[in-house]
Amino acid sequence: MAGLVDWVVSVDGWLRQAMGAPDGDVAPPGSDHPPPARPVPVAPALAPGLAPGLAPGLAADPFAIRDMICGSGHMLPGGAEEAQWLARPLGLSEKTTLLLLAAARGGEAAAIAAGFGTWVEAYEADHDLLALCEARLQRENLARRVHAQPWHPAVPWFKPRSATHALALMPLRGIAAGPVLHALAGALRPGGNLVLIELVADRPLDPSEPAVAAWIRAEQRPPPLSSGAEITHSLVEAGFDVRVVEDEGQRHRRHVLAGWQRLMAAGPAPLREARARVLAEAELWMQRLRLLELRRLRLVRWHAILGARAAASETAALGNGPPVG
């Protein structure tokens, strides 16, 4: 955990300066002695799609800090580059339709549509995020190419055989994998590809454990989490041929650290008005990275292909229309 400890120390010292706290270093978790002073990391060059700087009025924008870390409008660290990397195995083009599940504020949908020219059916369960997604698509002149719409995690349904391929970005958030994956199978045409990225816990998390409780509180994420094996089994049950199962925790960690380096390089003065948001964002990422380092959480990517027989059976099972209400 040395890398995480170094990062926590750097961020803590920077937050003290940014928030106007007294100077001085704090010990890393588990240490009884103060560490030596460490310099604030130098920010790397921005990748495409990443926010270039801090605008005034940060306290009024609930996503300003997140945008500096993940890229403007993005939910995943790495910005447009990461979204396109995840979508690249799907072979998207202007002749394909992508079902994008958990579109959040629309950054990933916009990056994929602009980068590949594909048509996108973007689904988001949170109505506030969906409104922000629709507004982003309007601003970027992508509203015709990307159709943003709600979905119901408790009763998942998507238009049968409407998509060539699918990309699901951590859509489960406390719900079972099976019904969602069966619904995705029903939405895909025969031979359709699915890329799914999801946080998993291979052993059940105990919400009474302090580290787990802190993570749940920071992310406002309801337990339980599926295990990696459970999701793989659900994919097979839904008729997918699973081709790739890969742990993306280290890649995710690199993107998070690079995002914080960019934020820290902006300097402390502009952030004092957004003190509460900066502290909440730091807590969220520190707790997630801590559990990833401890292997209590894993971030896993699956790439699977739907068989023709499975597509037909799922279409028949799910062809009764969307949930009412």
Candidates 79, 77, 129, 67; CA nearest to 101 is 129
Instruction: Retrieve residue 71's tokens.
Output: 């890229």
Residue 280 confidence (pLDDT): 87
Q: What is the DSSP string of 18-39?
A: HTTPPS---PPTT-SSPPPP-P
pLDDT value for 10: 64
Q: How far apart are CA 28 and CA 2, in angstroms?
A: 10
Check residue 74 and give its pLDDT.
97
Domain architecture of the chain: domains with CATH: 1-39 (no CATH), 65-318 (3.40.50.150)
One-letter amino acid of 195: V
Which parts of the chain are beta strand (E)? 97-101, 119-124, 146-150, 165-169, 193-200, 240-247, 298-306
Please tell me the predicted confidence (pLDDT) of residue 272.
72
Q: Give CA–CA dist 6/109, Å, rounded.
A: 34
Closest listed residue to residue 195, CA positions, set 96, 95, 101, 114:
101
pLDDT at 20: 60
User: What is the distance between the alpha carbons of residues 292 and 64, in angstroms, rounded to a whole number?
Assistant: 25
Give the end-to-end CA distance of the chain in Å, rounded to a whole number: 47
Give me the pLDDT at residue 31, please: 37
pLDDT at site 23: 42
What are the C-alpha distances in Å from 163 to residues 100, 120, 166, 210, 315? Answer: 10, 9, 7, 42, 12
Cα separation, 84 vs 18, in Å, equals: 33
Contact 303, 243 (CB under 8 A): yes
* Alpha-carbon span 188 to 158, nearest angstrom: 9
Task: Read off the DSSP letter of residue 46.
Answer: P
Cα(94)–Cα(117) distance, integer angstroms: 5
| pLDDT for 199 | 97
Check residue 224 and give its pLDDT: 87
Q: Along the 325 residues of the chain, how does pLDDT read in single tens digits?
A: 555 556 665 666 666 666 565 444 433 343 333 333 333 333 334 444 444 454 455 556 788 889 989 999 999 999 999 999 999 999 999 999 999 999 999 999 999 999 999 999 999 999 999 999 999 999 999 999 999 999 999 999 999 999 999 999 999 998 999 999 999 999 999 999 999 999 999 999 999 999 999 999 999 888 789 999 999 999 999 999 999 999 999 999 999 999 988 888 877 766 777 777 888 888 899 999 999 999 999 999 999 999 866 555 555 555 556 654 4
Contact 166, 305 (CB under 8 A): no
Contacts of 86 (CB under 8 A, 6+ apart): 76, 167, 169, 195, 197, 301
Predicted model pTM: 0.83
